[in-house]
Amino acid sequence: MGGGAQVNGAQDRGSPAVSPAARGAATEGLNTWCAISVGALEHNVAQLRGRLPGGCRLAAVVKSNAYGHGMVDCARHFLRAGADWLVVNGLYEAQRLRRHGIEAPVYVCGPVAPGQAGLAASTGARVALYDADTARALDRAARQTGTTIRVHVKLETGMHRQGLELRPALDLARLVEALPGLRLEGLTSHMADMDEIGPGSAAQAQTERFAAGLSAFRQAGHVVEVAHLASSGGALRLAGIPGTLVRTGIAAYGLWPSAAVARGVGGAAKLRPALSWHCRVAQVKEVPAGAAVGYGGTYVAPAATRLAILPVGYGEGYPRSLSGCGEVVIEGRRWPVRGRVCMNMTIVEVAGDHAPAAGAVATLIGGPPGGERVGADEVAQRAGTINYEVTTRIHPDVPRLMAWPDGRLTWAEANSPDHAAGAPPPLELGDSAT
Ligand SMILES: Cc1ncc(COP(=O)(O)O)c(C=O)c1O
């Protein structure tokens, strides 16, 4: 899947509507931060909900720190907006949700090692299952703790990642039914490609295999309460994918799984990107013609110019592949990245009149509603990757601030404790009246 640069530009309403005054007050002590729009998270869930047939449950995928958006806060807002379940990759993520008091059903879609069985029991998470050793370990842990662990057998339908072919999947289901600590709750698989749908497509082949697997499970006497195959692409395209639950990640954050899916949906759903990423210019300096800029001197200034040093680099998750080709927005104008992106700094050229000064806010992803912006899709295209990777790789230590529809910015609940310690107290950082 690959995001197209224009995808969001055509449809989003820009970054969270936070007034410059509010942002200034709230972020004064920060070098860099992400603002996560509460309104956008909730809007996107409503859009997805509107696409689902009645009775189909919506599971919001919050793995990998909610695709970089901050897991705990996003989970809360998704649930408040009507998501029924949460999906994580690992049990440690389920544990984190529980520690923050989130009690909604959690499904672990990634691998669970037999040694983690106790964590499955204590979190009450549902787990994807595709091997007998894990099943036995889960059963032991469940019986030791007097609980029942709900498992979802993962069926191979064409992606050739996790999962079992139908025959061994049925064998595993039979084993599960014989283990008193386990309950066979679900059958699941994952779509590899929703860019093409319809006759002859890989999506259709996977859909048919899943439907056949579901009926084979039922014929064998297994009650499959929860069947799930679709992720964002499937949920958005309504390709007749069978299931009683969808697992939606990228679309819940307001980004499209690919340009082809966006085209296929054809405006029937509107998504709003939830994340914008900013930093404060650390230094502005004049350099003479011939100055070699950054590691390796890969950019040599052809004339005297002015550079702004940004306090963000690949260590914070700004892709190194943006060296010499990235663009950031400062005070409503785009400025080019010069030389190589460093671990914790990036150099941009700010030549000419009205150049920004040290302390100005630079936007790495996002931009104000209706103003100049650089979306995650554009960053991905320039960096040679996909929007998923761009947001997911923003380091968890970059503070996440929640941007509320009334203009307030608040400190996200689960920010790194180090940042929380240095942050202005208490949770509330500023409001539009300041
Ligand atoms: C098993 C599984 N389900 C659902 C998703 C969510 O996919 P998307 O973000 O495209 O909605 C993912 C994403 O990686 C996944 O691995």
Per-residue pLDDT tens for 93-124?
A: 999 999 999 999 999 999 999 999 999 999 99
Protein residue closest via CA to atom 8 of ligand 1: 249
Structure confidence at residue 5 as a pLDDT band (50, 70, 90): very low
Catalytic residue among 63, 67, 154, 318: 63
* Ligand 1 center from residue 90 Cα (angstroms): 13
- pLDDT tens-digit profile of 355-386? 899 999 999 999 877 899 999 999 999 999 99
Give pLDDT, residue 22: 56
Catalytic residue among 92, 270, 285, 295: 295
Kindly give the number of the ligand 1 atom that is closest to the alpha carbon of 128. 1
Structure confidence at residue 329 as a pLDDT band (50, 70, 90): very high
* Ligand 1 center from residue 248 Cα (angstroms): 6
Three-class SS state of 32: strand
63 among known catalytic residues:
yes
Protein residue closest via CA to atom 14 of ligand 1: 249
Report the alpha-carbon distance of residue 126 to residue 225 in Å, rounded.
13
Say if CB 349 and CB 305 are below 8 A apart.
yes
- pLDDT tens-digit profile of 28-64? 889 999 999 999 999 999 999 999 999 999 999 999 9
* Ligand 1 center from residue 231 Cα (angstroms): 5
Kindly give the number of the ligand 1 atom that is closest to the alpha carbon of 1. 10
* Ligand 1 center from residue 325 Cα (angstroms): 29
Report the alpha-carbon distance of residue 127 to residue 120 in Å, rounded.
8
Give pLDDT, residue 414: 75
In CATH, 38-260 is 3.40.30.10: no
What are the residue boundaries of the structural domains of the chain, listed by start?
38-260, 275-430
Give pLDDT, residue 239: 81
* Ligand 1 center from residue 351 Cα (angstroms): 42
Say if CB 415 and CB 423 are below 8 A apart.
yes
Pocket perturbation via mutation, ligand 1, pick of 127, 154, 189, 231 by most ligand atoms within 8 A of CB = 231
Strand ranges for 114-244 from DSSP E: 126-129, 149-154, 182-188, 226-228
107 among known catalytic residues:
no
Instruction: Choose which CATH entry (2.30.42.10, 2.40.37.10, 3.30.365.10, 3.40.50.2300) describes domain 275-430.
Output: 2.40.37.10
Task: Give the mean pLDDT of 228-247.
Answer: 94
Give the Å distances, CA to CA, from 254 to 14, 37, 197, 262: 11, 10, 22, 11
Whether 4 shows a pLDDT value over 50: the answer reads no
* Ligand 1 center from residue 88 Cα (angstroms): 10
Protein residue closest via CA to atom 13 of ligand 1: 249
Residues with CB under 6 A from ligand 1: 61, 109, 190, 231-233, 247-251, 257
Structure confidence at residue 427 as a pLDDT band (50, 70, 90): very low
Pocket perturbation via mutation, ligand 1, pick of 109, 161, 388 by most ligand atoms within 8 A of CB = 109
Kindly give the number of the ligand 1 atom that is closest to the alpha carbon of 233. 10
Please give the span between the terminal C-alpha atoms of the chain, in angstroms, as a whole number: 43
For the chain, the maximum distance between any two Cα atoms, rounded to a whole number of angstroms, is 78
Contacts of 288 (CB under 8 A, 6+ apart): 301, 304
- pLDDT tens-digit profile of 255-311? 999 999 999 999 999 999 999 999 999 999 999 999 999 999 999 999 999 999 999
Structure confidence at residue 422 as a pLDDT band (50, 70, 90): low
Kindly give the number of the ligand 1 atom that is closest to the alpha carbon of 162. 1
Kindly give the number of the ligand 1 atom that is closest to the alpha carbon of 251. 11
